[in-house]
């Protein structure tokens, strides 16, 4: 929302307190009433490995409903541009790296989040079906792991970076000498600050029109162990980091080929260390005000 306002657009924010996107009729009525020119679909049921593994029915069913209801409402209201946000987990578990857009459905998915991934793959196909049948100029973007201000820090459903930030801050505050983390720490991941993603969305909403979904990321990765060490330093944690290899690691490596989005003139501007520091600062301030989702 900040990025689109800065670009001169009139923006309407939407969350479940305004309309429940699982309710098809309510979604249709809302979109018909506000008549937007552009819809950015960032709505989803999301979570880390534990949540995805424990609730695959919810992750598949809810995400299918959310995207179908919103796309149908957009069609009925003749919305000119629709930007569907998916996830890099749509790609095969053992994909060739870095991952090009063309590698979609070239191998089996990672089992710990396959339900969520299948829902997002279905979303890409539905967007392209609207393009084919109704000549829509709708697009799909596949971001890598996103983090930053406003993230979800609920340890039961959060992704790895906000979970690490909260774990290390709380361990530092209570002077704990040890933090135990899931897995081996060996998987490789890339991370993109939400503000960089927002700039990419503004750009592609204006300039991109293709049935090929578009990767959004940094093209640079690091191990989860290296990430944990960076967060520990940034939060001032001086204790010991231990790993629990009995817990799943997920996909061994996942780094995106971002040459297509870069060819449009976009590149990330916020380094990982800058982003971690600013997110920690935001978390502490928001937590003091009781505004953190946890």
Q: What is the pLDDT of residue 49?
A: 86
Strands 81-85 and 38-41: parallel
Q: Which CATH number fits domain 2-288: 3.30.590.20, 3.40.50.720, 3.30.1490.20, 3.40.190.10?
A: 3.40.50.720
pLDDT over 80 (residue 189): yes
Segment 194-212, tens digit of pLDDT: 999 999 999 999 999 999 9
Taking the whole predicted model, whether its pTM rises above 0.75 is answered as yes
**Residues 101, 163: Cα–Cα separation, whole Å:** 29
Long-range contacts, 19-25 (Cβ 8 Å, 24+): 21/65, 21/66, 21/69, 21/70, 22/62, 22/65, 22/66, 22/69, 23/69, 24/65, 24/68, 24/69, 24/72, 24/73
Look at residue 252 and give its three-state secondary structure.
Answer: coil
Strands (E), 33-108: 38-41, 81-85
Structure tokens at 121: 């793959």
* Domain map (residue ranges) of the chain: 2-288
Look at residue 238 and give its three-state secondary structure.
Answer: coil
Structure tokens at 29: 């009525």
Q: Output the DSSP codes for 87-112.
A: -GGGS-TT--SSBPGGGTTSSPPPGG
Closest C-alpha to 123, from 80, 167, 60: 60
Angle between helices 24-34 and 56-76 (to 10 degrees): 40
Q: What is the pLDDT of residue 48?
A: 85
- Are 82 and 209 in contact by the 8 Å Cβ rule? The answer is no
Greatest pairwise CA separation for the chain in angstroms:
60
Strands (E), 230-294: 240-244, 253-254
What single-letter DSSP state applies at residue 113?
G
Specify the length of the chain in residues.
294
Q: What is the pLDDT of residue 112?
A: 92
Interacting residues of 16 by C-beta distance below 8 A, sequence separation 6+: none
Per-residue pLDDT band for 32 (boundaries 50, 70, 90) equals: very high
Cβ burial 248-272 (10 Å sphere, 16+ → b, else e): ebbbebbbbbbebbeeeebebebeb
Per-residue pLDDT band for 293 (boundaries 50, 70, 90) equals: confident
116 noted as active-site residue? yes
Residue with tokens 């930030």: 165
pLDDT over 80 (residue 294): no
Q: Which helix (H) or strand (E) holds 206?
A: helix 194-207
**Residues 166, 181: Cα–Cα separation, whole Å:** 12
Q: What is the pLDDT of residue 157?
A: 85
**Residues 161, 183: Cα–Cα separation, whole Å:** 14
Q: What is the mean pLDDT of the chain?
A: 96
Among the options 30, 91, 103, 116, which is catalytic? 116
Segment 129-166, tens digit of pLDDT: 999 999 999 999 999 999 999 999 999 889 999 999 99
């Amino acid at each position: 929302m900040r990025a689109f306002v800065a670009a001169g657009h009139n923006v309407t924010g939407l969350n479940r307190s305004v309309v429940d996107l699982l309710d098809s009729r309510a979604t249709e009525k809302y979109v018909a009433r506000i008549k937007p020119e552009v819809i950015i679909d960032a709505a989803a049921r999301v979570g880390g490995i534990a949540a995805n593994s424990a609730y695959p029915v919810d992750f598949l069913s809810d995400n299918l409903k959310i995207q179908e209801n919103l796309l149908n409402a957009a069609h009925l209201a003749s919305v000119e541009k629709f930007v569907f946000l998916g996830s890099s987990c749509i790609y095969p578990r053992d994909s060739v790296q870095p991952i090009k857009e063309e590698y979609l459905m070239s191998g089996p998915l990672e089992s710990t989040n396959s339900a969520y991934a299948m829902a997002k793959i279905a979303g890409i196909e539905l967007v392209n079906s609207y393009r084919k049948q109704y000549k829509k100029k709708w697009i799909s973007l596949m971001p890598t792991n996103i983090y930053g201000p406003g993230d979800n820090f609920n340890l039961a459903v959060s992704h790895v970076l906000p979970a690490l930030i909260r774990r290390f801050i709380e361990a530092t505050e209570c002077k704990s000498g040890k933090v135990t983390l899931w897995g081996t720490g060996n998987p490789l991941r890339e991370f993109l600050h939400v503000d960089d993603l927002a700039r990419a969305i503004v750009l592609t909403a204006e300039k991109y029109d293709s049935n090929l979904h578009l990767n959004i990321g940094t093209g640079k990765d690091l191990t989860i162990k290296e990430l944990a060490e960076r967060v520990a330093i940034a939060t001032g944690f001086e204790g010991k980091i231990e790993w629990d290899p009995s817990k799943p690691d997920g996909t061994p490596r996942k780094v995106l080929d971002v040459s297509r989005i870069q060819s449009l003139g976009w590149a990330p501007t916020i380094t990982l260390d800058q982003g971690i520091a600013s997110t920690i600062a935001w978390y502490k301030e928001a937590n003091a005000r009781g505004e953190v989702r946890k």
